[in-house]
Amino acid sequence: MTEVIFYVFAAILLFAGLRVVTAKNPVHAALYLVLSFFNGAALWMLMQAEFLAVSLIVVYVGAVMVLFLFVVMMLDINFEELRKGFWKYVPVAGTVAVVMAVEMALILSHRAAQIEGAGLVDHPAGYNNAKVLGQLIYTEYFLPFQLAAVLLLVGMIAAIALTLRKRKNTKYINPANQIQVKRNDRVKIVSMPAEERPSVEAPKADDGQA
Amino acid sequence: MNIMTWSSLNAGVATPEIFLLCATCAILLIDVFLSDAKRHISYVLTLAALVATGCLLVAGYSLQPQLAFNGMFIADPLASLSKLGMVVGVILMLVYGRGYAAVRGLFRGELFTLTLCALLGMMVMASAVNFVVLYVGLELLSLSLYALVALQRTSSRSTEAAMKYFILGALASGLLLYGMSMVYGATQSLDVFVIAQKIAHDEANRLLTVFGIVFIVTGLGFKLGAVPFHMWAPDVYDGAPTLVSQLIGSAPKVAAFAFIMRILAQALEGFAFDWRSMLMVLAVLSLVIGNVTAIAQVNIKRMFAYSTISHMGFLLLGIMAATPGGYAAAFFYAMTYMLTAAAGFGLIMLLSREGFEADQIADFRGLNKRSPWFAAMMLIVMFSMAGIPVFIGFFAKLAIIQALVGLGLVWLAVIAVLMSVIGAFYYLRVVKVMYFEDPTDTAPIAAGADAKLVLSVNCLLLLVLGMAPDRLLTALTTALQFSLHPGL
């Protein structure tokens, strides 16, 4: 039964992956990528790696791909232009792909590359992937976990340092000054002697002045 | 399942790193509340944090290695001494670069926090004994450096340099990680000591490990800037603000040495036969191409970049010897090169001023007439890099060549000497320009008194250490003995 499910998901994954590269519309391509991530997550679920599956959906489908869709929709990129040389490169790309596929098959089937303990592990009922991972991260892998947090901090500092620009001509509003403003700051009453009302018609650009 | 206890955490061993991280966060917060006019407060705080980290390192120095964080972190003499070297390198960069950064709008809080994060990454690289931690430390350093190179964002050259550095750096990280994953596959461990043990007991898959070593050496070659993976170095050195070039060219070389020691000399010692030949190719190519290409440079920052490539060739020769003597010679080389490169870039910044970069060799014309003292300092730096006796660079090269001859690799020693002679040409050209040509630029030297003082001490140190190199060499040799073979 598991095998049948695996082949169904794997087939959809391959189809979606193929459509990512062949779809004409970039929005469709991005949506197919979402589909392929989803199927990848399902495969992980079959391998009882539910934490990875959930995080793939949360992080990639939920955050990265949504942002990516925004970017694709906002930027005015002429995708036809980018695709122009596609058929010209197909022979070379096809050769490279075939060579890579053969190499991978050779490596995977070679005796020297068989790694001990690389097969799937059968977990007992009640085994909780996320819990085990959490325990490892917060105990054994405490140091790399903390350092990865520093890495994110560096990313944040760098992003702010490289993109935040103070514009000198921007008119900032200072709320404190806004609240403190008095009536006298807004309206100035000037006493003037009364004048007779000049009898002019509504000014028409040229006539009056000439 | 490992249960973490206070004793297996043993966090006290990492006091310098923990202090540095807390200080970085504090400076990050304090800096937000400072106006541009008070920016020097963050500068002073940064220097204070660095000095305190240095003091903690000295106070915690012990010859016996101590493990921490469930065996992922080690404090041994190799780590402590190289960290001390890195702290000194970063202090030198900030002192020399203060005036330079101030007139170019780089004197910002991010300069300090990113530099401190880079230092933290280097310190982790020196202390990590687990592939994950080694990698995270390297990335911490690299990410901070990419951002620092791009910090002068109005300059298109800096941005270009940062882009190149980032893309090639990411590629190198990928290769390194790929290699590490293969070694993990072959030995089923990420721990440096467990990997070494498995290899010693012949429990590792040989084909996979050697395959992994190829990728690891390639990644290391990229990070070191060794030929044929050196393409990024000249553009980055040239495009980055000079103080960042100084940072890239000095302290990380010491970190890289410790990093290579952990991976090649400790974890993969059993496959020394395989990685030695790879390092030999990298070293010889770096020596030849670095020195020959440097002759053609008119930009002194590019010249330094090619000279760094050739010096990395020397460093690799020492590691390639794979004997205690060779490792000690390479350690000595990394430490003294850090001091020499810092002084070299410091002198470029000394002559730079607002709107003027002294980055051409021609800018050093007639320096002797403008300032005999600093001309003499530059002379010391150039002679030391060229490897002329009495100066420290000579003894560094001598130690490497001794190690090679001791192994019977005379032809390698001959290549190294020949290439040093070719290298002497372009160093001496700078000296000639300073002493025998008339100044074209007569503006007074604008640098502050603190930079001038520290720079003079730095340069004189190259001379003083050169007169008595034995003590430093002995200290480093002992440190390596206790680190690589604990329990001696």
Q: Coil, strand or helix: which one is B423?
A: helix
> Is A69:A29 a contact under the CB 8 Å cutoff?
no
A116 close contact with B: CB closer than 8 A: yes
Any CB–CB contact under 8 A between A107 and chain B? no
**For helices B131-149 and A142-163, angle between their N-to-C axes, nearest 10 degrees:** 10
Rounded to two decimals, the pTM is 0.86
Residue A72 located in a structural domain: yes
pLDDT grade, residue B330 (50/70/90)?
very high
A139 close contact with B: CB closer than 8 A: yes
User: Do B147 and A150 count as a contact with CB atoms less than 8 A apart?
Assistant: no
Is B114–A115 a contact, with Cβ atoms under 8 angstroms apart?
Answer: no
Confidence of residue A204 (pLDDT cuts 50, 70, 90): low
Q: Do A69 and A140 have their domain in common?
A: no
| pLDDT, tens only, B158-172 | 999 999 999 999 999
Nearest CA distance, B375 vs chain A (angstrom): 37
In the numeric block, which tokens belong to residue B67?
């493990």
DSSP code at position A59: I
Residue A185 is assigned to a structural domain of this protein: no
User: Would you say residue B3 lies in a domain?
Assistant: no
Predicted pLDDT at B487: 46
pLDDT beyond 90 at B484: no
pLDDT tens-place string over residues B224-252: 999 889 999 999 999 999 999 999 999 99
**Residues A1, A73: one domain?**
yes
B356 three-class SS: strand
Q: Is residue A205 part of a domain?
A: no
The reply to whether residue B117 touches residue A153, judged by beta carbons under 8 angstroms, is yes
* Cβ contacts of B88 within 8 Å, gap of 6 or more: B54, B338, B339
Does a structural domain hold residue B2?
no
Q: Is residue A146 part of a domain?
A: yes
* Closest residue in A to B123 (Cα–Cα): A147
User: What chain A residue is nearest to B107 in terms of C-alpha separation?
Assistant: A161
* Chain A closest-CA separation from residue B240 CA (Å): 14
Does a structural domain hold residue B341?
A: yes
The span from the CA of B73 to the CA of B128, in Å, is 5
**DSSP result, B172-197:** HHHHHHHHHHHHHHHHS--BHHHHHH
Q: Let me know whether A7 and A68 are in one domain.
A: yes
Nearest CA in chain A to B153: A162
d(C-alpha B301, C-alpha B143), whole Å: 22
Q: At which of A60, A79, A98 does a domain end?
A: A79
Of the candidates A79, A104, A121, which is a domain's last residue? A79
Q: Which chain A residue shows the shortest CA-CA distance from B110? A: A161
- How many A/B residue pairs have CB atoms within 8 Å? 84
Mean pLDDT (chain A, rounded) = 83
Q: What is the pLDDT of residues A4-47, one digit of tens each?
A: 999 999 999 999 999 998 888 888 888 999 999 999 999 998 88
- Let me know if residue A206 belongs to a domain: no
**What residues of chain A lie within 8 A of the CB of B132, using their CB?**
141, 144
Nearest to B479 by CA among B187, B290, B235, B258: B258
**Domain extent for A25:** 1-79
HSE, CB side, 13 Å, CA atoms: give it for residue B383: 17
Is the minimum CB–CB distance between A59 and chain B shorter than 8 Å? no
- Which residues in chain B have Cβ-Cβ distances shorter than 8 Å to A117? 188
Nearest CB partner across the interface for A157, out of B113, B150, B185:
B113
- Distance, in angstroms, between B148 CA and closest chain A CA? 8
pLDDT at B1 (0 to 100):
44
Q: Is residue B1 a part of any domain in this protein?
A: no
Contacts of B21 in chain A (CB under 8 A): 150
Task: Provide the pLDDT for residue A206.
Answer: 56
Q: Chain B contacts of A151, Cβ < 8 Å?
A: 136, 139-140, 143
**Which pLDDT belongs to residue A54?**
92
pLDDT in tens, A80-116: 777 777 788 888 988 998 999 998 888 777 776 666 6
| Among candidates A132, A140, A151 on the partner chain, residue whose Cβ is nearest the Cβ of B140 | A151
Q: What residues in A contact B137, CB-CB < 8 Å?
A: 147
Interface mutation target, options A106, A139, A146, A150, chain B, most CBs of B under 10 Å: A150
With respect to residue A29, please indicate whether it lies within any of the assigned structural domains.
yes
Parent domain of B20: 8-484
Q: CA nearest B130 in A: which residue?
A: A144
Q: Which two tokens stand for residue B318?
A: 């020492």
Domain end, chosen from A18, A48, A79, is at: A79
Looking at the complex, does the CB of residue A143 fall below 8 Å from at least one CB of chain B? yes
Average pLDDT over residues A166-186: 78
Lowest-confidence segment of A19-28, A72-81, A201-210, B222-231 by average pLDDT: A201-210
Burial per residue of B438-466, b for 16 or more beta-carbon CB atoms within 10 angstroms, e otherwise? ebeeeeebebeeebbebbbebbebbeebb
Q: Where are the alpha helices (DSSP H) in B188-299?
A: 192-200, 206-224, 232-239, 242-249, 251-260, 272-295
- Counting the structural domains of chain B, the total is 1
Lookup: tokens for B24: 């970085």
Cβ-contact B377, B385 below 8 angstroms: no
Look at B140 and A150 and tell me if their CB atoms are within 8 Å. yes
Which residue of B69, B141, B145 to mutate against A (max A Cβ within 10 Å)?
B69
Lowest mean pLDDT among B32-36, B284-288, B305-309, B417-421: B32-36
B145 C-beta neighbours (distance < 10 Å), count: 25
Mutate to test the interface with A, among B18, B143, B149, B165 (most CBs of A within 10 A): B143
pLDDT tens digits, B77-102: 999 999 999 999 999 999 999 999 99
A73 is a domain residue: yes
Residues of A within 8 A of B136 (CB-CB) are 144, 147-148, 151
Per-residue model confidence (pLDDT) at position B436: 92
Within an 8 Å CB–CB cutoff, is residue A152 touching chain B? Answer: no
Q: Using the 8-state DSSP alphabet, how is residue B266 labeled?
A: I
Tokens at B11, concatenated: 């966090």
For residues A139 and A66, membership in a common domain is answered with no
Residues of chain A found within 8 Å of residue B120, distances taken between Cβ atoms: 150
ipTM: 0.91
Phi–psi pair at B202, nearest 5 degrees: 60, 35
The domain that holds A43 is classified in CATH as 1.20.120.1200
Report yes or no on A118 lying in a domain.
no
User: Is residue B188 domain-resident?
Assistant: yes
Q: Return the residue of B nearest to A147 by Cα.
A: B136
Work out the minimum CA distance from B65 to partner chain A, whole angstroms. Answer: 18
Q: pLDDT category, B336, cuts 50, 70, 90?
A: very high
Number of domains in chain A: 2
The minimum CA-CA distance between A33 and chain B, rounded to whole Å, is 23
B-chain residue closest to A148, CA distance: B136
Residue B81 to residue B106: CA distance in whole angstroms: 30
Kindly indicate the confidence band of residue A210, based on its pLDDT and cuts at 50, 70 and 90: very low
Q: Is the distance from CB of B81 to CB of B476 less than 8 angstroms?
A: yes
In this predicted model, what pLDDT tens digit does every residue of B380-428 receive, in sequence order?
999 999 999 889 999 999 999 999 999 999 999 999 999 999 999 999 9
Residue A140 near chain B (CB below 8 Å): yes
